[in-house]
Amino acid sequence: MSHGEPNSDEVQSRRFFVGGVFAFLTSMGLIVLGAFRFVVPNVLYGKNQRFKVGMPKDFPDKQATYLPEQQVFIVREGNSYAAMSAVCTHLGCTIRTDPDRPGFFCPCHGSRFKPDGTNYAGPAPKPLEAYEISVSNLGELVVDKRTLISPKERYRV
């Protein structure tokens, strides 16, 4: 054996040392990562489910006004108002007002809904969701998507 070459015991002890250092650093990294994950809040910041949509007079009579940022239709008939989901109950496509007849339709799969949100044609299994409406202290309509109501209910101003 020459003087410059390590013997097998030295190579094995070096490998053991390097493996130990690697295992130690990996475990420390996982501990730090776990501690960091614990500090970061586990919260999803989504859209507010209760929001103001405007003054009652801002909505045209006998029409459905689409609010794309909230995916809601505000339907006005005289002095009564309804807030309905613009999401089809079939596969979640965005519905539209029906230009040929009163109500809504899904351009994706052909579901049709009456003006009150009741489904009557196509694959949609249930009516559109209807949300509670109230009026703020300043007279603005407020929609609360957390509170589902009957599609036939209307808020009177």
Tokens (6 digits) for 7: 């013997």
Q: What is the pLDDT of residues 9-38, one digit of tens each?
A: 776 777 788 888 889 999 998 888 888 777
Residue pair 115/64 in contact by the 8 Å Cβ criterion: yes
Q: What pLDDT sits at residue 4?
A: 63
d(CA 93, CA 86) in angstroms, rounded, equals: 8
Structure tokens at 65: 């006004």
pLDDT in tens, 30-54: 888 888 777 777 776 677 888 999 9
- One DSSP character per residue, 32-58 reads HHHHHHHHS--------SEEEEE-GGG
Report the candidate in 133, 108, 135 with the shortest Cα–Cα distance to residue 122.
108
Q: What is the pLDDT of residue 2?
A: 55
First to last CA, the chain: 100
More confident residue, 110 or 131: 131
Tens of pLDDT, residue by residue over 120-155, are: 888 989 999 999 999 999 999 999 999 888 877 887
Query: What pTM was estimated for this model as a whole?
Result: 0.67
Q: Is the pLDDT of residue 62 over 60?
A: yes
Residue range 73-83: average pLDDT? Answer: 91
Q: Where do the H-state alpha helices sit in the chain? A: 8-39
